[in-house]
Structure formats: structure tokens, C-alpha cells
């Protein structure tokens, strides 16, 4: 294979998913001069999780100006924490600005992706066939809703739906509403519906630590300044205080005995102690595990809302659901008009249920027989020129995944360049590189705050945190340059 410093711009790329990561990938490829790109999106519009979730109160817990692409700051955020609809609008605007619609095939879900004779062969549910030299899996993590196994749920006479499948035709005002699930989604929905519904009952299985946060509106003067002063907008996007907070937060996660973790614990404990007056309710809201073992919830008002009349915290176990409502384990029946399942997502699915087959017939199910594993969270042995964004064992926490994906893309782009310039035809990590990485990662992950003794969607089937267990700065450093000795490069 001829080697050249000039990349082959005819390389064929397929991107799976038109959410945040898929949009970024296509923009970056276009900027590098590649044009032979197709994006397959299973839904009818872009946006990923921000398209899927439209529930009342939907808000990102990352500061607005930190939740944009680094090269596309947004002067028009209305609040300190961005509402979901504004985030969706941002990604739609990016799609229009970079004319990505011409690359996207909507309502086309990839069902088969197989490496044959040196390239990837793909098939959609609608029967479309395609091929690619490089596949970018930008499928996201939180897109397969997790439904609770509650006896009798089909018997309920009222409306019942998952928070990610919100039915906006169902009236809310004056209704009796049950919210099952108390992660960030459940907390946000309770805050949004209090005062609208006649009764909101929040079913809590496990108490959550809540980080206090303010969410003020940006003034018209502030937004005008962002629009007219590009330097101010970029400085705000790259606010050093936020970056420092992310570094401290991840240092705390990596070292549960650190001063950084002690600071987090002190803040959330003080929030509970000072915000909730009723001693019985306070104990019901007090978690039995350490702060940040589960993903922290950021809320400006949940403790205030849960103490209001017409809002009730329910900690008793659910026996089942009947025609009129929820039957508790002690026999009491609570009647409702609407039941919302704020029960999260199946975070271990990634590309599945796609049939993914790599070199020599190696299937994803074989490669992941012991759970999802990927070298540096990006690639899998025997799956050449196949890259994941926000794949297994990537950084997770209360910080911007856009920044994570941009770092990952810079790393992936260097691997793509090896093929584009003819240095090799196929790039995939070596099995021993993945094994060593996983051994080191698992050992470190068990020592993080995520492994300190709680159940969360961060844990794999063996109870080990399936996350990046080191500091954010280490991730930044690792993503700067691939170590090619870790890769199987084939001509």
C-alpha cells in the first residue's frame, strides 16, 4: 500500500446515530476534507437523548456555556443550566449550519454491520445495503428505556408511560400523578409538576444525594454581550472555574479519601440538613451510601418542592399496579390518573441490538461475553476501523460529555489518518493491550467512589464500575496521541 502524506479523501465513512456525537463526527470529517459520508439515524430527526427526552422540567446539569461544541459557543442560552428543548434546538441549528441533512438517512436503523473482504458491509431495517471503510458508532448510551418489572402494570386504567416516551397529549393540570424513579429525571419531573397536578407522589426506592445549584435566567444585557463580544463568549465557554471544578470532581471520584471528595460530601450533607425541616422526612431522604457513589443529582428546588402540600414522598415498597392505582406492600391502594416511569435506560446496550461482526467472524456478543469492553473506550480487537464515541469505560459524571467526545475524536482522527495516508489498511487494538488496560482499569475502578457500596447504572453485571476510574486530566493526556504499539496495524 502506497504511503503518502496526503490523505485519501475518497475514504467511505458511515456514522451510526445523529445525536451529539454523530453531528460532531460529521462536522470534523467535513472540516478535514472528507465528503464520502453517510449518517444513519433510526429516528426521524437529529438530537439523540435530547430528541428522545421531552418530559416537563428536562434540564442539563452542566452549565449552559460548557454544553456546546468548543468551536460553536451559543450566545442565546436563556438559563445557567440549559433546558432540554434549547439543547435540541442547538443541535438542529448545528445540523442546518453545516448542511448535514444531505448526509443523513432518517428512519434507517442499522441492523447488521459486518467486516468482509476489507470493508464494513451494513444493512438497515428497511433493507438498505451500504459499505464503509470506516464506521463511527455514535449510538450513545441512554437511548434504550429501562422498564420496571411491576406486577399488573398493564391493568392500570389511566395513562402510563416512560419518561423518555412522554405523551404530551395527556393532560397534567389537576391530575393525580405518580412518579416512579428518583434519579435526575424523576427529581426534575416532580419539581416541574408540583403546583400543576393536584397530587404528585414520588416513589423512592433509594434516597439520593442532591447537590444544590442555582439556575438563574441570563439577562437580555448578558445575552447581548455574548452576541457582540466573541472573546467573551469563548472565555465563558472555556470558563476556568468550571474546568477546575471538573478536575476536582474527578479527583474526588478516583480517590474517595481525598479532600475533594470530603468537600462534595460536606456540601450535599449540609444541603440535606439545612433544607428539610421535618425530621422523619429528612431521614427518608438521607442516603445510606457515600455521596457520588451514584451520579449526583443537581437540583435548585427538590427539597423545597417535596415539602410542599400536594407533594408526597413514598418510600414504601410497591406490591403491584391495579386498575385504579398503585398497591403498596402493606396493602394500601393509592389511586392515580397518570403513572410516569422515570426508571432510566439500559446503559449496557451501546450498539445493540445491531448484529455486529468483526474480522474472522468474531461477533460483538463473543467479544463482550464478559460485558462491554473497549480499549480506551473507543475500539475493540478484531473490529478494524470501527470506533465508538462514549463507548464502554469512558468518563461519566457531572460534566460535559461534549468535551469527552471532542477529546475522543481527536484521538480517533489520528487512527483514521493512518489508513487515509496509506500507512495501513486496518487499525484495531491488540487483544493484549485491551486485557492489560482492562486489568488496570478494573483494579482502579473498584477503588473509586462508584465502587464504594451502592447500586447504580455505572456498575457492570459483576458489580464493577464500568467507567474511566482515573482523573479527567489523565483522560485528556491519554487522548492526545495513540500509542501505536497498542494497535494491530495491517496492510
Q: What is the largest CA-CA distance in the chain?
A: 75
Mean pLDDT for 374-402 is 93
CA distances from 108 to 41, 42, 112, 134, 250 (A): 6, 5, 12, 18, 37
* pLDDT-based confidence at residue 62 (cuts at 50, 70, 90): very high
pLDDT of 347 over the 90 cut? no
More confident call, 196 vs 142: 196
* Per-residue pLDDT tens digits for 453-491: 998 888 888 899 999 999 999 999 999 999 999 999 999
CA distance 135 to 131: 9
Please state the separation of Cα 104 from the chain's center in Å: 22
In the predicted structure, residue 64 carries a pLDDT above the cut 90: yes
Mean pLDDT of the region 130-144: 90
Angle at 344 between CA 339 and CA 349, to 5 degrees: 135
Report whether pLDDT(3) > 80. no
The CATH architecture annotation of domain 13-144+346-490 reads 3-Layer(bba) Sandwich (3.50)
Residue 106, Cβ neighbours under 10 Å: how many? Answer: 14
| Residue-level pLDDT at 397 | 76
Q: What is the mean pLDDT of the chain?
A: 95
Please give the CATH superfamily to which domain 153-341 belongs.
FAD/NAD(P)-binding domain (3.50.50.60)
Question: Does the pLDDT of residue 159 top 70, yes or no?
Answer: yes
283/431 Cα distance (integer angstroms): 49
Closest listed residue to residue 46, CA positions, set 111, 136, 106: 106
What number of other Cβ atoms are within 10 A of residue 413's Cβ? 15
Binned at pLDDT 50, 70 and 90, residue 398 comes out as: confident
**Where are the domain boundaries for CATH 3.50.50.60 in the chain?**
13-144+346-490, 153-341
Q: What is the pLDDT of residue 5?
A: 77
Poorest-pLDDT segment among 2-11, 271-280, 415-424: 2-11
Per residue in 263-300, pLDDT tens? 999 999 999 999 999 999 999 999 999 999 999 999 99
Phi, psi for residue 179 in degrees, rounded to 5: -115, 115
Taking only the tens place, the pLDDT of each residue in 162-188 is 999 999 999 999 999 999 999 999 999
Question: In this predicted structure, what is the pLDDT of residue 365?
Answer: 93
Q: Are 294 and 454 in contact (CB under 8 A)?
A: yes
Q: Is the pLDDT of residue 357 over 70?
A: yes
Residue 219 has pLDDT above 80, yes or no: yes
Q: Work out the average pLDDT over 314-342.
A: 97
Here the cell at position 27 is: 462536522
Is the separation of the CB atoms in 85 and 54 below 8 Å?
yes
Q: With CA atoms as reference, report the closest residue to 428 among 437, 420, 440, 419.
A: 419
Overall residue count recorded for the chain in this entry: 491
Model pLDDT, residue 225: 97
Could you give the CA distance from residue 79 to residue 64 in angstroms, rounded to a whole number?
7
Find out whether 318 and 150 touch, Cβ atoms under 8 Å.
Answer: yes
Question: What pLDDT is attached to residue 456?
Answer: 87
- Per-residue confidence (pLDDT) for residue 2, from 0 to 100: 60
* Residues 186-197, mean pLDDT to the nearest whole number: 97
Give the C-alpha separation, 39 to 217, whole Å.
36
Amino acid at each position: 500500500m502506497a504511503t503518502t502524506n496526503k490523505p485519501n479523501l475518497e475514504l467511505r465513512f458511515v456514522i451510526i446515530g445523529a445525536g451529539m456525537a454523530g453531528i460532531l463526527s460529521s462536522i470534523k470529517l467535513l472540516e478535514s476534507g472528507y465528503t464520502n459520508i453517510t449518517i444513519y439515524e433510526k429516528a426521524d430527526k437529529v438530537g439523540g437523548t435530547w430528541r428522545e427526552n421531552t418530559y416537563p422540567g428536562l434540564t442539563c446539569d452542566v452549565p449552559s456555556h460548557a454544553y456546546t461544541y468548543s468551536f460553536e459557543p451559543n450566545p442565546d442560552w436563556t438559563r445557567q443550566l440549559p433546558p432540554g428543548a434549547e439543547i435540541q434546538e442547538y443541535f438542529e441549528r448545528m445540523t442546518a449550519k453545516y448542511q448535514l441533512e444531505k448526509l443523513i438517512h432518517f428512519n434507517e436503523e442499522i441492523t447488521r454491520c459486518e467486516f468482509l473482504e476489507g470493508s464494513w458491509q451494513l444493512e438497515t431495517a428497511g433493507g438498505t445495503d451500504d459499505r464503509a471503510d470506516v464506521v463511527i458508532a455514535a449510538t450513545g448510551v441512554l437511548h434504550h428505556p429501562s422498564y420496571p418489572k411491576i406486577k399488573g402494570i398493564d391493568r392500570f386504567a389511566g395513562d402510563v408511560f416512560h419518561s423518555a416516551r412522554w405523551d404530551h397529549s395527556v393532560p397534567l393540570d389537576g391530575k393525580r400523578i405518580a412518579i416512579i424513579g428518583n434519579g435526575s429525571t424523576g427529581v426534575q419531573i416532580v419539581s416541574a409538576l408540583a403546583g400543576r397536578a393536584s397530587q404528585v407522589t414520588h416513589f423512592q426506592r433509594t434516597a439520593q444525594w442532591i447537590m444544590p445549584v442555582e439556575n438563574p435566567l441570563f439577562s437580555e444585557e448578558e445575552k447581548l454581550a455574548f452576541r457582540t463580544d466573541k472573546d467573551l463568549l469563548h472565555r465563558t465557554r472555556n470558563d476556568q472555574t468550571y474546568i477546575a471544578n471538573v478536575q476536582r470532581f474527578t479527583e474526588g471520584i478516583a480517590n474517595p479519601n481525598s479532600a475533594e471528595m470530603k468537600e462534595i460530601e460536606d456540601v450535599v450533607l449540609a444541603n440535606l440538613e439545612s433544607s428539610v425541616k421535618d425530621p422523619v422526612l429528612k431521614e427518608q431522604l438521607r442516603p445510606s451510601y457515600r455521596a457520588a457513589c451514584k451520579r449526583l443529582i443537581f437540583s435548585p428546588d427538590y427539597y423545597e418542592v417535596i415539602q410542599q402540600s400536594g407533594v408526597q414522598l413514598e418510600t414504601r415498597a410497591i406490591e403491584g399496579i391495579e386498575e385504579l392505582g398503585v398497591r403498596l406492600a402493606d396493602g394500601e391502594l393509592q389511586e392515580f390518573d397518570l403513572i410516569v416511569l422515570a426508571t432510566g435506560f439500559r446503559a449496557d446496550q451501546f450498539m445493540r441490538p445491531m448484529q455486529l461482526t468483526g474480522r474472522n467472524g468474531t461477533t460483538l456478543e463473543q467479544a463482550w461475553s464478559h460485558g462491554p469492553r473497549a480499549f480506551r473506550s473507543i475500539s475493540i480487537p478484531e473490529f478494524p476501523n470501527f470506533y465508538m464515541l462514549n463507548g464502554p469505560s469512558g468518563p461519566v459524571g457531572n460534566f460535559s460529555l461534549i468535551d469527552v467526545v471532542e477529546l475522543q475524536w481527536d484521538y480517533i482522527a489520528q487512527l483514521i489518518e493512518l489508513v487515509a495516508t496509506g500507512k495501513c489498511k486496518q487499525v484495531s487494538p491488540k487483544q493484549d493491550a485491551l486485557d492489560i488496560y482492562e486489568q488496570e482499569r478494573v483494579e482502579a475502578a473498584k477503588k473509586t467512589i462508584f465502587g464504594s457500596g451502592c447500586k447504580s447504572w455505572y456498575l457492570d453485571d459483576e458489580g464493577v464500575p464500568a467507567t474511566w476510574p482515573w482523573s479527567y486530566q489523565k483522560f485528556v493526556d491519554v487522548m492526545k496521541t495513540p500509542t501505536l504499539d497498542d494497535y494491530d496495524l495491517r496492510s
